[in-house]
Each structure stands twice: as structure tokens, then as C-alpha cells.
Amino acid sequence: MEKSVTLRFYDVRRTAEDKPALVDVLRMIAAKPIADREARVGLEDILVRLEDFAENDGEIHGQFVRGQSGNRPGRMLPDGTGNLPFEEPLGHGIAFRYRARDGLLAVQFDSKILSPGRILDYFYQHDARAEYSLTPRMRQDAWERFAALPLRKLEVSVAGHANAHDLDNAADPVWRNVATIKQAYGADTVRFQISMGHRDGSLLDGAKDILREAFRRHQNGEDDIRTIRGVLETGEGVPNDEIDLMGTLFDVKEELYFDGDDFPRFYILRRDLLSVKIRLL
């Protein structure tokens, strides 16, 4: 069996000094019987619980399991299709590893199962003081590759209200114009694209500063950045490298292989993969 997994890394910070440390909240939840760890999160009333909790080498690992109780699939029987032979929810797991000494959270990223925001909601349901912010950590190797290659095209989309600080920002015409368009036309999202078109060559170095500024705004929460894409010139006779910078800089994608349909085995493989990757940061 082949499973594709995406990993993402976040720096976790308490929203205030009087908030509990994340490691203490995880230990508190893990000390409960498994059934008592369940909580409903979000407007969708998603059922979540912490499982496979363990500590070693100064790190905590486990998985958050989402219970699917509705919209369940059927099964194929020799004489036709029937319902599943059990009433319990289906379990979908998100593996994680947390390094307390520097607050780095390595987590399997699959927003269809459980987004990072819903994981924060889960902590809050167990302790109303548990409030944290997550900052995605960029992959340095990917950023260095992006910085080294000539840029032929970029695309950025920005959602939300106009940023008031940009309206009079004469020093940065790109972001001033985004704010002006939003205000003038009541737009929620503005998408802009700069490209060499069919001409040879690459954009001037200043074009990359636009993407760097987009990352800075995204990380600081100043703007709701939805898209950051670029096309890099890789050399004559080699196809240009079109990349989704949000995914390339934040994500690690791996294929895991194992025989059969073994959910516990799948967790062990994800746990071990996170253990390897977190040590690279």
C-alpha cells in the first residue's frame, strides 16, 4: 500500500505569559482515559481525541484522531452492497511531534481531516486558558533555491479588507495599489501577476522582494495571503520550474509504503518520519 503524506512545521507560542505551556496541556489530556479525551471542535462539531501519546528524547509524539460518524461509505458484499457492520465512527489520524525546548510542532498536514486551527480548538476545549499562535516555519533549502534562480513570473493573491497602512505607503506602490483597489471597488480578494510573457530573460531582482514581503505579511498576520506562486528559469533546454511557494517553502511531501491496510502500522511510519524530519530544523 502507498500513502502520500504532507508534513508541515510550526513555531508554537503562547498568546500571553499566563497561558499554560503546550507540553503541560498535552500531558493533562493524555492523563485522561482515552474516551474522556474526546472533544467537539468547530462549527462542524468535529469529534477529536488524542491517541498514541508518548514522550522520548525531550519530544512528545502521538496523533489526533478525527471520528467520522456521518456520510459513511458502504461495503461490497458477494450479493450486493451493504452498510458497514459497526456503528462506531471511522477514525482518521493526524500524526504530530512536538519539541518543547524550542516550541517546534511537526505535524502531518491534511486540512480535510483536521486543520491546525482545529487542533488549537481541541486544546481550548480541554483548557480554556490554552491559547496559542502558530507560525509556519519555512524550509531554508527551498528558499535558497528560489533566491538563486532567475524569476520569470510571479502571482500573489490577497484577501480581506484593505490594509489601512498601505493606502498612503508611497514607498511600496505594489501594496499601496492592492489596498487602493480593494477600497475603491469593495473587493475581497485582489490577485496580481507580473510576467515576462513570451520575451526572453527574467524579471528584475526587485520582483522577488514582492514575494519576500508577501511572506512577511503572511507570517505577521498583516494580510490574508492566499497565493504566492513563481516560475523560475532553470536553464536552456530545461523546463521552467513552476512552484507554489506557499507549499514548497512550508511542506515536506513523502510517500510511505507498507503491505495491507494497517492503520496502526501507518501511524508508526508517520511517527518515525516526523522524528527524522524534525531533527533537520
pLDDT (tens digit per residue) in 20-74: 999 999 999 999 999 999 999 988 899 999 999 999 988 999 999 999 988 888 9
**Domain contains 14:** yes
Strand partners, 275: none
| Residues 83 and 202 reside in one and the same domain | no
| Residues 132 and 49 reside in one and the same domain | yes
**Domain contains 243:** no
| Residues 16 and 93 reside in one and the same domain | yes
Query: Residue 219: pLDDT band by 50, 70, 90 thresholds?
Result: low
| Residues 261 and 123 reside in one and the same domain | yes
Is the predicted pLDDT of residue 228 greater than 80, yes or no?
yes
**Domain contains 191:** yes
| Residues 155 and 216 reside in one and the same domain | yes
**Domain contains 63:** yes
| Residues 84 and 110 reside in one and the same domain | yes
The domain in which residue 214 lies consists of 150-233
Query: Residue 249: pLDDT band by 50, 70, 90 thresholds?
Result: low
Percent over 90 (pLDDT), the chain: 57
| Residues 65 and 159 reside in one and the same domain | no
Phi, psi of 149 (to 5 degrees): -95, 145
| Residues 167 and 98 reside in one and the same domain | no
Single pTM value for the model: 0.70
**Domain contains 142:** no
| Residues 221 and 88 reside in one and the same domain | no
* Residue 273 pLDDT: 94
**Domain contains 240:** no
The domain tally of the chain equals 2
| Residues 79 and 37 reside in one and the same domain | yes
Looking at residue 280, the DSSP 8-state letter turns out to be T
| Residues 167 and 121 reside in one and the same domain | no
* Residue 1 pLDDT: 57
pLDDT digits 0-9 by tens, 145-200:
778 889 999 999 999 889 888 998 888 899 999 999 999 999 999 999 999 998 98
| Residues 207 and 184 reside in one and the same domain | yes
User: Whole-angstrom Cα distance, residue 235 to residue 220?
Assistant: 35
Q: Quick check: 247 and 228 in contact, CB under 8 A? A: no
Q: Quick check: 173 and 209 in contact, CB under 8 A? A: no
Query: How much of the chain is in helix, strand and coil states, percent to nearest 5?
Result: 30, 35, 35
